[in-house]
Amino acid sequence: MRVRLRAEGVHDMGLKAPSIVTFMLSVILTVIVLTSQFFGAEIPWLTGHESWALLASYTILMLGCMVRGM
Amino acid at position 7, single letter: A
Task: Give residue limits of the domains in the chain.
Answer: 17-66
* 36/32 Cα distance (integer angstroms): 6
Q: What is the pLDDT of residues 25-51, one digit of tens each?
A: 999 999 999 999 888 888 888 888 999
**59 and 9 in contact (C-beta within 8 Å)?**
no
Cα R_g (the chain), whole angstroms: 16
Beta bridge partners of 3: 11
Is 0.75 surpassed by the pTM of this model?
Answer: no
Q: What is the pLDDT of residues 5-19, one digit of tens each?
A: 566 666 666 778 889
